[in-house]
């Protein structure tokens, strides 16, 4: 039980929520003191909401959360306040919640949200694939399936698959493969449970938060002669064997030969 609580506390999203609650308590205390000492001057709701955001952002900084959490903490109460001021029917919030749940699923745990890689990256990956033999490749966290579908159409001799945890992106990629008669395959699973020894090439476009664990997994499972690719994100303390950055790519592609 205690271990579970400690694991949950380590998740930035959980800390952010608890810090918002703490900020609310501190704000309450501040307002009580204000009313006690300066009862003639009323604090408007807008100012109180602004203060809530500022306190929560300072707490996020104190807890050493990543910089984007400071920004989220600052603007979250204002966004909530504005959304409530619109007097939208509750069903709109339910629909938005369900949409984001299906799209992002366990992002609060994995810390890897959905954002797609570009066509230029797919081209760079295609150039890196061995051409003297057929290969098995996996995109771990395949999103809407763009990379897998593109490479499957270029490499008819090879088996390219995607693994995706979130239900909506997986469903969309699966449908895209069906409708376009692609040989690309998509499974809904956590790549952490996947045995990487089955693949000649593993492609990842994840987030800095998971790169070190991915390196350990790749070292433990990937076969000699296979290749690990990461779009945008390096692995600390493990320099890549190749770094590809063409003019059309916004971010580099890193390659490690195992």
Ligand X SMILES: C[S@@+](CC[C@H](N)C(=O)[O-])C[C@H]1O[C@@H](n2cnc3c(N)ncnc32)[C@H](O)[C@@H]1O
Residues contributing to the site for ligand X (CB under 6 A): 110, 112, 114-117, 139, 141-143, 146-147, 163-166, 169, 190-192, 205-206
Nearer to ligand X, 139 or 200 (CB): 139
Q: How far is the CB of 46 from ligand X (least distance, A)?
A: 36
- Distance CA(241)–CA(257), nearest Å, equals 7
Q: How far is the CB of 205 from ligand X (least distance, A)?
A: 4
The full length of the chain comes to 258
Q: Which is nearest to 74 in space by CA: 53, 60, 59, 55?
A: 53
Query: Nearer Cβ to ligand X, position 65 or 204?
Result: 204
Judged by CB, which is closer to ligand X: 63, or 188? 188
CB of 14 to ligand X, least distance (A): 17
CB of 217 to ligand X, least distance (A): 11
Instruction: Say if CB 49 and CB 76 are below 8 A apart.
Output: no
Q: Which is nearer to ligand X, 108 or 114 (CB)?
A: 114
Query: Three-state DSSP class for 19?
Result: helix
Q: Which two tokens stand for residue 13?
A: 């999203």
Residue nearest to ligand X (CB): 141
Shortest separation between residue 141's beta carbon and ligand X, angstroms: 2
Rounded alpha-carbon distances, angstroms, from residue 180 to 125, 143, 149: 21, 17, 9
**Token duo for residue 239:** 């320099």
Give dist(CA 152, CA 137) in Å, integer: 10
Q: Smaller CB distance to ligand X: residue 12 or 169?
A: 169
What three-state secondary structure class fits 132? Answer: coil
């Amino acid at each position: 039980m205690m271990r579970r609580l400690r694991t949950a506390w380590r998740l930035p999203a959980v800390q952010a929520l608890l810090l918002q609650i703490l900020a609310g308590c501190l704000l309450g205390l501040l307002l009580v003191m204000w009313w006690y000492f300066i009862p003639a001057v009323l604090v408007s709701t807008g100012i109180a909401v602004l203060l809530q955001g500022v306190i929560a952002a300072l707490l996020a900084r104190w807890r050493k959360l990543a910089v984007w959490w400071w920004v989220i903490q600052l603007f979250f109460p204002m966004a909530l306040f504005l959304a409530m001021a619109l007097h939208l029917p509750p069903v709109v919030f339910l629909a938005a919640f369900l949409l984001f749940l299906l799209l992002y699923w366990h992002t609060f745990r994995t810390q890897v949200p959905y954002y797609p890689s570009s066509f230029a990256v797919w081209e760079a990956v295609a150039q890196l694939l061995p051409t003297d033999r057929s290969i098995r490749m996996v995109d771990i966290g395949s999103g809407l399936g763009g990379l897998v579908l593109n490479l499957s159409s270029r490499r008819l001799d090879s088996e390219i698959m995607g693994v995706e945890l979130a239900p909506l992106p997986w469903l969309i990629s699966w449908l895209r493969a069906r409708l376009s008669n692609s040989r690309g395959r998509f499974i809904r699973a956590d790549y952490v449970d996947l045995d990487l020894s089955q693949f000649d090439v593993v492609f990842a476009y994840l987030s800095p938060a998971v790169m070190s664990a991915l390196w350990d997994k790749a070292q433990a499972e990937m076969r000699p002669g296979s290749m690990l690719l990461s779009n945008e994100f390096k692995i600390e303390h493990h320099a890549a064997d190749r770094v590809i950055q063409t003019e059309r790519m916004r971010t580099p592609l890193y390659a490690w030969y195992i």
